[in-house]
Amino acid sequence: MVSGRPAQLPGGLHMRGALLERPGPSGVALALDNAVASTLAFSDGFTANGTVRLRGARISDDLTFAGAILNGPPDGHGPSLVALRMQAADVDLTLARPPSAAVDLRGAQVSYLHDSERSWPDAVELDGFVYGSVTMDESAGQRDSVELVPEGRP
């Protein structure tokens, strides 16, 4: 598990193409709770075999998962991405394929969101999620529906 709590990353964190395996006992592969960063780049083949947790993180510029793979915990018990109360200017969720488990964006605030049909798993938690604008990766097509999971339900 990679942990940087609470990290101050003025130069950003660039993990393009990185492979995170062997999550901790809670299933978390990367924990950047309350981190402050200019850029977080988890792209170009970045793969997390465990939860990526960005609770309360503040990203002043880009958060990118372009071409990333979010597998969630290997035991299947836990979300792929947790970004509760995260704040970011520009978020790119154009993943290589849909996350294997839930994405939790409750209370997150995003100015610009870039997504595609590969951005969303079957379960997404969006209560209180606020965004300024959304752009869809047209080459990925459109997704028919996303199941919203009520708070407190796994």
Check residue 142 and give its pLDDT. 45
Check residue 117 and give its pLDDT. 87
Dist. CA 14–CA 31, nearest whole Å = 15
Dist. CA 119–CA 151, nearest whole Å = 20
Q: Mind listing the pLDDT tens digit for each residue in 82-92?
A: 999 999 999 99
* Least confident stretch, 17-26, 43-52, 96-105, 141-150: 141-150
Residue 5 has pLDDT above 80, yes or no: no
Q: What are phi and psi of 138, to 5 degrees?
A: -65, -30
Pick the residue with more confidence: 7 or 135? 135
Q: Mind listing the pLDDT tens digit for each residue in 27-36?
A: 999 999 999 9
Dist. CA 29–CA 8, nearest whole Å = 19
What average pLDDT is seen over the chain?
89
Check residue 29 and give its pLDDT. 95
* Least confident stretch, 44-58, 95-109, 136-150: 136-150
Check residue 113 and give its pLDDT. 96
Q: What is the DSSP string of 33-70?
A: TT-EEEEEE--TT-EESSEEE-TT-EEEEEEE-TT-EE
Band (76; pLDDT cuts 50, 70, 90): confident
Residue 141 has pLDDT above 70, yes or no: no
pTM of the model: 0.85
